[in-house]
Each structure stands twice: as structure tokens, then as C-alpha cells.
Amino acid sequence: MQDPLPIRPFTKPVRGSVTVPGSKSITNRALILAALADGETLLENCLFSEDTEIMVKALQDLGFEVTPDAEAKTISILGLGGDIPNKEAEIFVGNSGTSARFLTAFLCLSEGGQYRLDGVPQMRKRPIADLAQTLNQLGGQIETTDGFAPLTIKAQGLAGGKATIDASSSSQFVSALIMAAPYAEQGIQIELTDTSVRRSYIDMTLEMLVQFGIPKSNLAASETGYDIKPCPYYKAKPQGYQVEGDASAASYFFALPVAVTGELEVLGVTQNSLQGDIAFSSRMEEAGAYIEWTKSSAIVRYEPGAEPESLEGSFYPYSDTFLTAAAIAPLCQGTTKIEGIAHTRHQECDRVAAMADGLKRIGQSVEETEGSLSISPAPLKPATIATYHDHRVAMSFGVLACFDALGNGEPWLKIEDPSCCKKTFPDFFEVLESLRQQSENASSDA
């Protein structure tokens, strides 16, 4: 793939359909739950990307029988009812936050295991100290490196009981604890020291526990925390567990018709998705899109000649999508103000700073605070976008690049390091180009 990659814009309204890949969040949770289950589970419609392949490799390094089939989009895994076969291992998590956090709690369940968990330099800057401290309250023995990776884990199982956690920097801390909790001797009672945690991802985790056989009566949630009772084992899914389409990835295709007008069917997502990021669709409706839901898709329409309404408010519950909203802000009427995003400064990169940088490069007026961005539209200027190796920065600006800013169908925006999308959506730019060609052909045939 050319680097930097010039994006050829749409000269016709978008027409066609697109299938989003399986959800990264659900695939990695399902891998952990299947490994904890008793028996073989077949996961279907899995995401095959850098993050999920890291999780698969980690489980294989821990001795689990894991058989991925990328062509069929399936992963078979033989769970051992809470046992971890290999009692010593060095686990590499790259820059995968879900893998790092989920595996840290998972490894504490081992009886007599000793593990080292590390990642790339950026992973060593991502928060994990609060999770480690809470697991130590529950009987774990975890040593961090000044609060970050690499970690060493001396596992003797989890006694469980009561513990507090600050999960304001990542709801994944709570999800990690919840998935391990049924195997703790006393279960786990988690008290949140900051109740502003993003609950949509935790709700998804709780629902998946039920899908894997944990009785709802064992799971209690309140404003201040969670109480998970012990349970003998998760139930395997030999007949198959279907992974939903990725709602975060769908955000790009909810936004595309707003950027270029037209009609696009987004396959693989539903209005009652487990994933909180599906709420981004309502933000595109605020911008002026019309969305019709079917049993297995969303049809997004935006009429030619309309100018999108600017957006304002908190994106905290679905912050992975704030980048999509920020990227199309230059096309909107008036100032877009995005709030609730301070925690995203500590993700794959400093996402607030990265989006501000990209928007300034294309001539926009941007005001940046610790937890917000204000974007006032100005004439678009050709530029090359630095992605800071962040897949969501690349894909978000990829959507904006589809707008024909020069009015002649020539590329005006280039994306550096486009291959960073392999983290969650390896063929994103190929899919975008295919949609452009579909739309050109549909207009020619009309």
C-alpha cells in the first residue's frame, strides 16, 4: 500500500452496501470466556486483525488449543474450566489494551503460575496500575514497572472479596475483573471510586457472561459498583457463538453518506447491539442523516444539497467514535464541540492532540482542552495527515478524504502509515475504494 496513501474522493453520492468486520471488543472478550469455559467453543464471524491475533497467540502460548480459520472467520478454542495449562510464559500484547487488561486478570486465576506480560513502547505508557492494585487486593501478586507494563504475575488463584477500583481511565479494568470473578473463591464485589466509568462496555461484558452460562442472579450492578458471585464454570458454545459486527467500525460508514451524500447499507450491525458505540448512529441523525434499521443492517441516507448540522456534547460513553465526528466537523454548519474525551489521550496515541493536529493541517480552527475539542469550519486545504500509528485517526480522516474538496475528483488528502488499520480493520482503505467504484458505476447505470 502506498505510504502516504492519497485518497481519491467520491464524485457521486455513495451507493451500495458494506459489511463491517466482526467486533474487536466482542471477539477478545469471547476468546477469554471460551478459554475459561469447560469444553470446546466455536466463535463465528470473528475479527481477524492485529489485536485479536495477539489474543489468540497469547492463549496458544499459555497452552490452550486454539484453531483460527481466517477464511471462514471462525476460531475454535478448547476451554479447561478455569485451568491455565502452562504455568510459566512470557506474553506479548503489542499495543492491544484489551489483551493486556483482560489477560492480567485471567492469569491471576492460575494455580501456581508465573508470567511476564509486556508490549510495544506505547503499551508501556498505557494505564494498568489501578487494575493491578485491585487484583492485589483480591489475592493476586502483580508487580508493575512504575505503574505500567511490563508486569510480572505470580498467580495463586484469586480469593476474591471486596475491592475498590478507579476505572475512569479505562472501563476495561472492570470488564477484566468481571470475567475473572466467577472463578474467584468468594466472587468479587467491586466498588467504583469514580462512578463516571463508561458503562456501555461493562454492560456488554455482563451480557456476554450470561450468554456463556452465568446466571443473571449471580450478577448485580449498581451506581457504585458490581457484585459477581462465584460460579463453577462458564458453559462452552460448541454449536457456535456469533460475534456481532463492529459498531466502532460502523461509525465510519454511518458518517460517509453525511460526508458525500447518498445511501449506504451497513451490514452486520443492529439497533439492539451489545456495543455502546452503536449510539453514534443517533449522532449522525442529529447531523441530518436518516437511518432505517433492518434485522441485520442499517440503511443510512443523506440528501444531496443539505449541509450537516454541527454536533455538540459528550462522547464519553462511545469515545472511540469521537474521532469520526471530529473528522467530518469541517463539513458541518457552525462549531462542533466534542467533550468527555480526556481519557483518550492515553490510548493508542494522544487522540485529542492527534485529531487537533490533523484538523489544523487542513486549515481548520481548533480549540483544544484536556478533555474537549472545538472545531470551527474553514476552507479545506490539501494536506498529509499524520496518524501517529493510530488506526482510528487513519480511518476517520479517510472518511473526510472522500469529500471532493477540490471539485475535480483529485485526491487532496494523504494518510500516513495507512497499514496501521491492521489493528482492527486491515482492508479498510480497500473497502472505501470499492465503495467509491460501486458508487461511480451505480451513477453511470442510472
Is position 101 annotated in a ligand binding site? no
> In Å, what is the CA distance from 368 to each residue of 314, 376, 395, 438?
14, 12, 21, 38
- The type of residue at 421 is C
Q: How far apart are CA 200 and CA 415, in angstroms?
A: 31
Number of Cβ atoms within 10 Å of the Cβ of 276: 23
Tell me which residue of 151, 216, 217, 209 sits closest to 183, measured CA to CA: 209
Q: Was 97 annotated as part of a binding site? A: yes
Enter the C-alpha cell of residue 20: 463491517
- Amino acid letter, 151: L
Triad 203, 204, 207: Cα angle to 5°: 85
133 is in an annotated binding site: no
320 is a catalytic site residue = yes
Lookup result for grid cell 502516504: 4
Could you list the beta-strand ranges (E) of 74-125.
74-80, 88-92, 111-118
Output DSSP code: residue 362: T
Q: Is 347 annotated as a binding residue?
A: yes
Binding residue per annotation — 15? Answer: no
Is 419 annotated as a binding-site member? no
Angle 194-141-35 from CA coordinates, rounded to 5°? 85
Find out whether 122 and 348 touch, Cβ atoms under 8 Å.
Answer: yes
Residue 111 burial by CB count (10 A; 0-12/13-18/19+): exposed, middle or buried? exposed
Q: Angle at which helices 247-260 and 391-401 pack, to 10 degrees? A: 20
392 is in an annotated binding site: yes
Spatial separation of the C-alpha atoms in residues 359 and 330, rounded to whole Å: 8
314 belongs to an annotated ligand binding site: no
Q: Which amino acid is at 172?
A: Q
First to last CA, the chain: 32
Active-site entry in 51, 320, 404, 417: 320
Residue 438 CA to residue 14 CA, distance in Å, equals: 8
- What is d(CA 441, CA 446) in angstroms, rounded to the nearest whole number? 9
**C-alpha to C-alpha distance for 107 and 93, rounded to whole angstroms:** 13
25 is in an annotated binding site: yes
Active site residues: 320
Annotated binding site for 3-phosphoshikimate: 24-25, 29, 170-172, 320, 347
Annotated binding site for phosphoenolpyruvate: 24, 97, 126, 172, 351, 392, 423
